[in-house]
């Protein structure tokens, strides 16, 4: 912005898929200091030297346009989810036992400024566009930087278990890339941040979250299951025998809990052009709906990232173009699945349901209610080809309703069809700023 998500052709928002099933897997321990200190530790060792799925089973039935929670849910699933909701209601600040937060300073500080960006390869941006990137970070000085489409492979042997919280170094080229990124992130302005990774098997997908070191971190999770059962329901540490946190197989999400709210960084799955990929996207959206519903009534949520969906006609430059796009003349059997991935009616309806039931507000549209043809889109098609000038807003900062009163700014930092401000990616960065929380004296 694979099978958790399709690959993007660079002249348009469509991606091919891998055949693995999207699952949460246990990884080696990356909790506490071992996660946040990874960059600094690796730096000491080496200092001398671009747009737009879940798995389907044979018994899965396709969506018919109803509630996401009505899709593929048996009574056991519903009972488990209801139990999670009940426990989530009583969850309060500081009760998350997992993951471990040892080593994080208890400053009481929560972030107020945020940056989100699909880099279309973090390492390429840091090599080819480093000056622009550094200048942008220095200018905006965000407390949190959320990165999507990192495209760095996870540590671990090719056919062995993966450590998705660290970069691969099993080949000479991977080792060189890890050393380059380690040095780059150990230098200013990135040296002011803790770095959290959730990476895929190869140079695909993946997310990262950079958090200023003075911010207090209550908990971190990398998988739907851990967020629901460990962070939200407060069930504590993983079962005996599991070495560390679970990650989504393609590294598509990271959640960090701060004293005042939770922040979720996601790289959404591409809807693709065929039923198999439609079902994967339905599954992904269903998990998101479960998550945001479980969080209602607890700490507020800030959800950011590349969602791979444009919510309304206001969010695309050419609605009719995107509405009727086809791949190789194929027309899906269901009308709601027709169109550009990220702009089908089915995706937009599910996104609406997620926002409504999660009680979330689109921060940019809240402050900018009218279409802006110059700076109102976050993804831009390749300057050459049929997608030239075709643009979409698929990157968001979505806020719990209780945070709207603190909303100061929500901005898109790319301009025009020549991708000014995109810093080499097919997405431009977006920023959010909140007012400081008011403290009422008794």
Yes or no: say if 281 and 53 are a contact pair by the CB < 8 Å rule.
Answer: yes
Say whether 149 counts as a known binding-site residue. yes
418 is known to lie in a ligand binding site = no
11 tagged catalytic: no
User: What does the chain come to in residues?
Assistant: 442
Q: Which residues pair with 411 in a beta bridge?
A: 431
Alpha-carbon span 422 to 437, nearest angstrom: 32
**Residue of 267, 364, 387, 396 marked active site:** 267
Rounded (10°) angle between helices 172-186 and 38-46: 110
Q: How far is CA 67 from the centre of its chain?
A: 23
Pairing of strands 113-118, 144-148: parallel
Cβ contact 98:232 at 8 Å = no
CA 180 to chain centre: 24
User: Does the annotation flag 306 for ligand binding?
Assistant: yes
DSSP bridge partners of 361: 399
- Token pair of 179, please? 């050393």
Whether 306 sits among the annotated catalytic residues: the reply is: yes
- Angstrom distance (rounded) from CA 290 to CA 248: 16
Question: Residue 251 region, left (φ>0) first, then alpha (ψ -120 to 50), else beta?
Answer: left
Q: Is 265 annotated as a binding residue?
A: no
Nearest to 51 by CA among 268, 276, 354, 286: 268
**Does 129 appear as a known binding residue?**
no
201 known member of a binding site:
no
Tokens of 367: 């402050």
Mapped to the 3 state alphabet, what secondary structure does 6-20 carry? CCCCCCCCCCCCCCC
Strand partners, 409: 433
d(CA 59, CA 196): 37
CA distance 264 to 207: 11
Cα 103 to Cα 381: distance, rounded to the nearest angstrom: 44
Q: Indicate if the alpha-carbon torsion angle 148, 149, 152, 155 is positive or negative.
A: positive
Exactly one of 143, 306, 337, 395 is catalytic; which is it?
Answer: 306
The SS3 assignment for 417 reads coil
Neighbouring-strand partners of residue 145: 115, 210
Residue list for the binding site for Mg(2+): 120, 149, 306, 308, 426-427
Task: List the catalytic residues.
Answer: 267, 306, 427
Residue list for the binding site: 120, 149, 306, 308, 426-427
């Amino acid at each position: 912005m694979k099978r958790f998500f399709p690959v993007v052709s660079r002249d348009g928002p469509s991606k091919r898929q891998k055949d693995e099933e999207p699952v949460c897997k246990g990884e080696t321990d990356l909790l506490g200091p071992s996660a946040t200190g990874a960059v600094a530790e690796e730096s000491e060792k080496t200092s001398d030297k671009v747009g737009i799925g879940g798995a389907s089973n044979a018994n899965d039935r396709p969506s018919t346009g109803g509630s996401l929670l009505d899709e593929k849910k048996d009574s056991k699933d519903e009972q488990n989810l209801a139990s999670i909701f009940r426990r989530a209601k009583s969850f309060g600040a500081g009760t998350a036992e997992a993951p471990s937060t040892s080593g994080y300073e208890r400053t009481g500080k929560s972030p107020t400024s945020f940056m989100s960006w699909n880099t279309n390869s973090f390492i390429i941006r840091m090599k080819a566009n480093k000056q622009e990137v550094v200048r942008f970070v220095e200018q905006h000085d965000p407390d949190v930087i959320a990165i999507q489409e990192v495209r760095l492979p996870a540590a671990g042997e090719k056919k062995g278990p993966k450590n998705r919280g660290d970069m691969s170094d099993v080949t000479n080229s991977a080792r060189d890339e890890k050393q380059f990124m380690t040095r780059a992130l150990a230098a200013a302005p990135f040296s002011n941040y803790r770095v959290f990774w959730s990476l895929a098997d190869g140079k695909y997908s993946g997310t990262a979250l950079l958090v200023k070191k003075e911010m207090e971190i209550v908990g971190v999770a990398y998988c739907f299951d851990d967020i629901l059962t460990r962070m939200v329901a407060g069930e504590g540490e993983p079962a005996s025998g599991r070495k560390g946190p679970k990650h989504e197989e393609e590294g598509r999400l990271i959640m960090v809990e701060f004293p005042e709210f939770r922040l979720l960084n996601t790289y959404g799955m591409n809807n693709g052009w065929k039923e198999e990929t439609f079902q994967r996207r339905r599954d992904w959206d269903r998990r998101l709906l479960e998550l945001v519903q479980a969080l209602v009534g607890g700490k507020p949520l800030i959800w950011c990232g590349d969602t791979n969906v444009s919510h309304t006609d206001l969010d695309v430059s050419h609605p009719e173009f995107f509405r009727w796009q086809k791949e190789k003349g194929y027309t899906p059997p269901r009308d709601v699945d027709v169109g550009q991935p990220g702009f089908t009616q089915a995706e937009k309806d599910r996104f609406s349901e997620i926002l409504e039931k999660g009680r979330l507000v689109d921060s940019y549209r809240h402050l900018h209610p009218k279409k802006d043809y110059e700076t109102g889109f976050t993804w831009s098609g390749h300057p050459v080809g049929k997608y030239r000038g075709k643009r979409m807003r698929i990157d968001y900062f979505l806020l719990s309703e209780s945070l709207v009163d603190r909303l100061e700014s929500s901005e898109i930092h790319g301009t025009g069809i020549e991708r000014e401000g995109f810093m080499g990616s097919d997405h431009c960065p977006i920023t959010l700023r909140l007012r400081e929380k008011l403290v009422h004296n008794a």
